[in-house]
């Protein structure tokens, strides 16, 4: 007997041509079958998914760079800033970790604990931005080694070559269904040529017309503006990085002869009339993997069903539009029914022009009714 496994919360039976999906109830968001029972899903169906989420790990939000690094790497690290030890050695699903260093970065920062404790130390403010995290979904169609190379090359060219340290942790938390993705933690300070941490920003004093600094009596300091030393926090960078990930991903899909392509832009910006699904989050995703339906999961299944209906309607509208255009270009010949109806609609004018009497029109009235009936049954 074939072993039953779960795929996206639905029970499946392995099949030599793909999988048979059993639906517990209602509409399955995986294959769209509305009925109970099994449905065949073809093998090697490629669905390329774009996901690139960017966030800041900030002390002002009670976050710790050391804690974040420990969790993402599945390791045990002690934060020397507050003395708290974070042990995630029992965490599963971590399949690869590595740290890429830019030019001028000391080799000692290849050690994860040393790196992020140094970040915690150099950032003095209680609301300091400690690290930037970028989470990307890696293609399930690629091998683990190919995913490593893809993440590594993306980080090297996009971040490390620009002066950032990239701490890469690749996860595949599900044994039954691949959900391979990478967490990339990036440093937010540049390095000086001597290997020390550089400044995030520099002061530029406001000068009067004579070129003298202006003293602010209320703040008891000279007026100045803060000028960023890098463009890493600029609004355009997020768009640039998201676009770069789409380009890297598409290049790898093309290299592996996979026809699917991804786009970092929203459906609205692409001009695609489709409803976007909502972000599931960790808790809902884990529950769905265990076969437990969640509110967010139900919403996404409904959205997928609505999108299928929308796609079907758009296809039918396109077919109807093409048919109407073709009909307009086709010469039309009147049939007998149309001639009789035209005769009646012209009424008295037609009778006067042709010499028919009104009594003939009354007879034509009956003929019109018969013609309408013929047209109805013929139509």
At 161-188, the pLDDT tens digits run 999 999 999 998 765 556 789 999 999 9
pLDDT greater than 50 at residue 130: yes
Mean pLDDT throughout 63-75?
Answer: 96
In the chain, the N- to C-terminal Cα span, in Å, equals 55
**Domain match, 88 and 177 both:** yes
Average pLDDT for the chain: 77
Length of the chain: 379
Burial of residue 369 (number of CB atoms within 10 Å: 0-12, 13-18, 19+): exposed
**Domain match, 10 and 84 both:** no
**Domain match, 140 and 16 both:** no
Instruction: Give just the sign of the alpha carbon dihedral 29, 31, 32, 34.
Output: negative
The CA radius of gyration of the chain, in Å to the nearest whole number, is 34
Closest CA to 22 of 7, 40, 41, 37: 37
Please tell me the distance from the alpha carbon of residue 36 to that of residue 13, in angstroms, as a whole number: 15
- CATH code (residue 72): 3.30.930.30
Residue 161 pLDDT:
96
**Domain match, 67 and 36 both:** no
Please tell me the distance from the alpha carbon of residue 34 to that of residue 230, in angstroms, as a whole number: 54
**Domain match, 245 and 108 both:** yes
- Domain containing 1: what range? 1-44
| The token pair that represents 172 in the structure block | 């595949």
**Domain match, 57 and 40 both:** no
pLDDT band at residue 191 using 50, 70 and 90 as cut-offs: very high
pLDDT in tens, 333-364: 666 666 666 655 665 555 555 555 545 555 55
pLDDT greater than 70 at residue 139: yes
Classify residue 123: in a domain, yes or no: yes
Helices (H), 192-328: 235-255, 267-270, 282-289, 295-328
Residue 348 pLDDT:
53
**Domain match, 18 and 76 both:** no
Please tell me the distance from the alpha carbon of residue 273 to that of residue 377, in angstroms, as a whole number: 39
Residue 115 pLDDT:
97
Classify residue 155: in a domain, yes or no: yes
**Domain match, 121 and 241 both:** yes
Half-sphere exposure of 340 (CA within 13 A, CB side): 18
| The token pair that represents 208 in the structure block | 């009067």
Indicate the number of domains in the chain: 3
Among the residue ranges 130-144, 234-248, 305-319, the one predicted with the least confidence is 305-319
**Domain match, 35 and 139 both:** no
| The token pair that represents 196 in the structure block | 């020390």
Residue 365 pLDDT:
58
> In DSSP terms, which residues pair with 132 in a beta bridge?
56, 186
Classify residue 248: in a domain, yes or no: yes
Classify residue 281: in a domain, yes or no: no
**DSSP H or E stretch at residue 51:** none
Classify residue 362: in a domain, yes or no: yes
Which residue has 């509409």 as its token pair? Answer: 27
Bigger pLDDT: 50 vs 355:
50
**Domain match, 38 and 88 both:** no
**Domain match, 13 and 156 both:** no
Classify residue 228: in a domain, yes or no: no
Classify residue 300: in a domain, yes or no: no
pLDDT greater than 70 at residue 204: yes
| pTM, full prediction | 0.63
**Domain match, 151 and 193 both:** yes
Classify residue 294: in a domain, yes or no: no
Mean pLDDT throughout 242-271?
Answer: 75
């Amino acid at each position: 007997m074939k072993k039953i496994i779960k795929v996206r919360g639905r029970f499946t039976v392995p099949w030599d041509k793909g999988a048979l999906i059993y639906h517990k109830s209602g509409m399955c968001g995986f294959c769209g079958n509305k009925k109970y029972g099994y449905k065949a899903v073809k093998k090697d169906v490629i669905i390329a998914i774009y996901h690139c989420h960017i966030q800041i790990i900030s002390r002002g939000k009670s976050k710790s760079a050391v804690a974040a690094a420990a969790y993402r790497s599945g390791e045990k690290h002690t934060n020397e800033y507050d003395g708290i030890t974070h042990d995630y050695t029992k965490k599963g699903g971590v399949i690869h970790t590595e740290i890429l260093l830019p030019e001028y970065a000391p080799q000692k920062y290849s050690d994860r604990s040393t790196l992020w404790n140094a970040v915690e130390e150099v950032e003095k403010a209680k609301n300091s931005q400690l690290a930037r995290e970028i989470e990307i979904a890696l293609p399930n169609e690629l091998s683990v080694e190919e995913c490593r190379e893809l993440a590594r090359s993306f980080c090297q060219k996009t971040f490390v070559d620009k002066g950032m340290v990239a701490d890469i942790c690749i996860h595949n938390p599900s044994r039954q269904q691949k959900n391979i993705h990478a967490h990339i933690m990036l440093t937010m300070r540049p390095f000086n040529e001597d290997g020390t941490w550089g400044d995030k920003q520099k002061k530029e004093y406001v000068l009067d017309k004579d070129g003298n600094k202006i003293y602010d009596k209320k703040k008891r300091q000279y007026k100045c503006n803060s000028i960023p030393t890098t463009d890493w926090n600029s609004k355009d960078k997020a768009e640039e990085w998201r676009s770069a990930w789409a380009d890297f991903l598409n290049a790898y899909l093309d290299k592996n002869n996979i026809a699917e392509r991804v786009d970092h832009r929203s459906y609205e910006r692409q001009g695609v009339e489709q409803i976007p699904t909502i972000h599931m989050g960790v808790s809902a995703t884990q529950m769905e993997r265990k076969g437990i339906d969640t509110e967010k999961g139900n919403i996404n299944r409904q959205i997928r069903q609505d999108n299928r209906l929308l796609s079907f309607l758009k296809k039918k509208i396109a077919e109807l539009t093409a048919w109407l255009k073709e009909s307009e270009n086709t010469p039309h010949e009147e049939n007998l029914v149309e001639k009789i109806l035209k005769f009646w609609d012209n009424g008295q004018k037609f009778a006067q022009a042709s010499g028919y009497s009104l009594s003939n029109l009354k007879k034509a009235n009956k003929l019109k009714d018969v013609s309408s009936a013929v047209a109805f049954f013929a139509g």
